[in-house]
Structure 1
Amino acid sequence: MASLTDRVRGNGRIAAGLLLNLLASICIVFLNKWIYVRYGFPNMSLTLVHFVVTWLGLYVCQKLDIFAPKSLPPSKLLLLALSFCGFVVFTNLSLQNNTIGTYQLAKAMTTPVIIVIQTLCYKKTFSIKIQLTLIPITLGVILNSYYDVKFNFLGMVFAALGVLVTSLYQVWVGAKQHELQVNSMQLLYYQAPMSSAMLLVAVPFFEPVFGEGGIFGPWSVSALLMVLLSGVIAFMVNLSIYWIIGNTSPVTYLQRYVEFELL
């Protein structure tokens, strides 16, 4: 009876995590699109804000004793931090250059790519049922791209890069949590500032920093509030991604995402 109760509680926590991630993901997609269209806030700068707010959120959680930091070697997190930058930057560029529908549908291709990576690199096997689900996903993305009246070649390039980097990132998140024996907060607590530092160095080469259109430009109060809200929601998305993958698998996380695409 005790084991059954534990399983029910565990499944309930996973369901709650999936629901939180679903709601936060929906919110941040529409909010970021609004920020790009309404205010023209630069992409990489917005990503940098997301990373900084994520780290600050985790710092507050650590001070409240919600989790205990664990010392980790930076060399073990370097690729993960770099892929985190690419994951968010390319998906945001895809959102900026595609319609929301195309952006969401393209992300569904992350599931097949993750399965390919785990099969080839980690020798994992998947059931025939899971493999068969890849057929309608792939066909749907191809058909949407072909018949999209607002087809954008640059947008599709960003979408493809986003899918590839996102797939690598999500596989590595699960692998690193098990390799380093850390939970989602402990891993993200060290990885987020590393990713922030990387973007802080890169932003001046691609976007203005001061003046019109720069991260420290003359933005309206409403724009700054929307950017800050986006950062808070990004914190929820990032933390829930780590937690879900750490407690299930990258494929489980992506199955939730595909269900969202089909709604």
Structure 2
Amino acid sequence: MDPAKKPLVSNTGAWAMNIVSSVGIIMANKQLMSSGGYGFCFATTLTGFHFAITGLVGMISNKTGYSTSKQVPFWELLWFSAVANLSITGMNFSLMLNTVGLYQISKLSIIPVVCLMEWMLHGKTFSSRVITSVLTVAFGVGVCTVTDVDINGKGFLCACVAVVCTSLQQITIGSLQKKYNIGSFDLLSKTAPIQAASLLIVGPFADYYMNKRSLLDYQFTCGAIFFILLSCSLAVFCNMSQYLCIGRFSAVSFQVLGHMKTVCVLVLGWVLFDSVLTTKNIIGMALAVVGMITYSWAVEADKLKPTKAAPLLPLKADIQAEEETMRLLKGLLKGAEPGQTKS
């Protein structure tokens, strides 16, 4: 394959993995957590399960040689894990205390907050066409998802914490990868056990506060266990692809193109769960897609603007990340073969 095309193919694969795994985990969690499904309403604890399985896969991968481990100061891993956990719990509490409309607005506000933090921390600037396309995406997704908006003090505070921590988490992923020249899955393998331990300790109490239900009282059926395992399996690919995407692109790009998942969820909800798809939803989705296409064009145009030099070859870090991901996926698929069943 032409060396200039390799990054494009691997970047597309990373985005596709993230979108498919993210949409898949949302569909699995909807069945697992909804009252019409298995009623497993322990979101924070479930996230702890996700990171526990991800950490286990990372440990096995390192032991078997599918990935390599580099040194990162423990205090930086601890700080990052604390920010990431605050992002998760903040989003959960925001969803519980706020209306769906305010919750969606808080998620949309992550994009401008990321842009602001990138400018403050790294001095990064954005062209007018990039800003216009970002606003188009946000407006389109807002038309799709935002309904009623009712603000209360506690809910607004939780939403602010969630937005700031989520933005800081996504910026820090890319910064740590560049600072220590560490692969995406290697970084995830180091942070996942810390996040799992803290979430599994705090999670049951946070979930009890949100739902007034104890995890010890939940009746685990075969169906519920199956969907928990499915959710955890998808979470491995979702977490890995998130780190891989942010390491290759930027936190802003990840947020903008990540809204494609919102569009996919709306469409699949209409197809699989008989959700209502209104004219307003369709117009909003169309605007969001146009904004995403415009954003991609604007970013590429900005890259070509300073110079029209020969196409850049893939960086060493990109090649390392791609090789690491391919080794890991081969290991996962090879490990999955004995458990396959015939239909």
Alignment TM-score, normalising by the size of structure 2: 0.65
- Aligned pair in 2 of structure 1 residues 24, 97: CA closer, same or farther (>3 Å)? farther
| Matched residue type, 2:31 | W
SS at match of 2:215: coil
1:91/1:162 contact within 8 Å kept: yes
Distance 1:119 1:259, change over 3 A: same
Report the equivalent of 2:246: 245
Q: Which residue of 1 aligns with 2:258?
A: 257
- Report which stretch shifted further, 27-36 or 130-139: 130-139
Q: Partner of 1:6: helix, strand, or coil? A: coil
Q: Could you state the TM-score of these two structures normalised by the residue count of structure 1?
A: 0.83
Where does the alignment leave 5 or more consecutive residues of structure 1 unmatched?
Answer: none
The 5-angstrom pairing of residues 167-182 of structure 1 reads: 167-182=167-182
Q: Measure how far apart 1:140 and its partner are.
A: 5.0
**Bigger shift: 89-98 or 67-76?**
89-98
| Alignment match, 1:123 | 123
Deviates more, 1:109-118 or 1:158-167: 158-167
- In structure 2, relative to structure 1, the CA distance for the partners of 1:239 and 1:97 (3 Å cut) is farther
Stretch deviating more after TM superposition (124-133 or 216-225): 216-225
* 1:173-224 per-position Cα deviation (integer Å, ceiling 9, x unaligned): 001111122111111111111111222332354345xxx7416843112111
| 1:30–1:204 distance in 2 versus 1, CA, 3 Å | closer
What aligned pairs does 1:37-56 form with structure 2 within 5 A after superposition?
37=34, 38=37, 39-56=39-56
- Cα displacement (A) at 1:142: 6.2
- Letter of the structure 2 residue corresponding to residue 59 of structure 1: M
Q: Of 27, 32, 37, which aligns to 1:35?
A: 32
Q: 1:134: Cα distance to partner?
A: 3.5
Distance 1:205 1:96 in 2: 15
CA offset digits 1:98-153 (Å, max 9, x no partner): 898986675333222111111122211112111122333454566677x6158686
Q: State the match for 1:219 in structure 2.
A: 220
Q: Is the contact made by 1:41 and 1:213 (CA closer than 8 Å) also made in structure 2? A: no
Amino acid of the structure 2 residue aligned with 1:10: P
Matched residues in 1 for 2:258 and 2:103: separation?
12
How has the CA–CA distance of structure 1 residues 255 and 67 changed in structure 2, closer, same or farther, with 3 Å as cutoff?
Answer: same
| 1:111–1:254 CA contact under 8 A, matched in 2 | yes
| Structure number, greater radius of gyration | 2
Give the AA of the match of 2:247: G
Higher alpha-carbon deviation: 168-177 or 218-227: 218-227
- 2:18 aligns with one of 17, 21, 43: 21
Identical residues among aligned pairs (%): 25
How well do the aligned residues superpose, as a CA RMSD in angstroms? 3.1
Q: Counterpart of 2:178 in structure 1: which amino acid?
A: H
In structure 2, what residue type is equivalent to 1:50?
H
Q: 1:99 to 1:29 in 2, by over 3 A?
A: farther
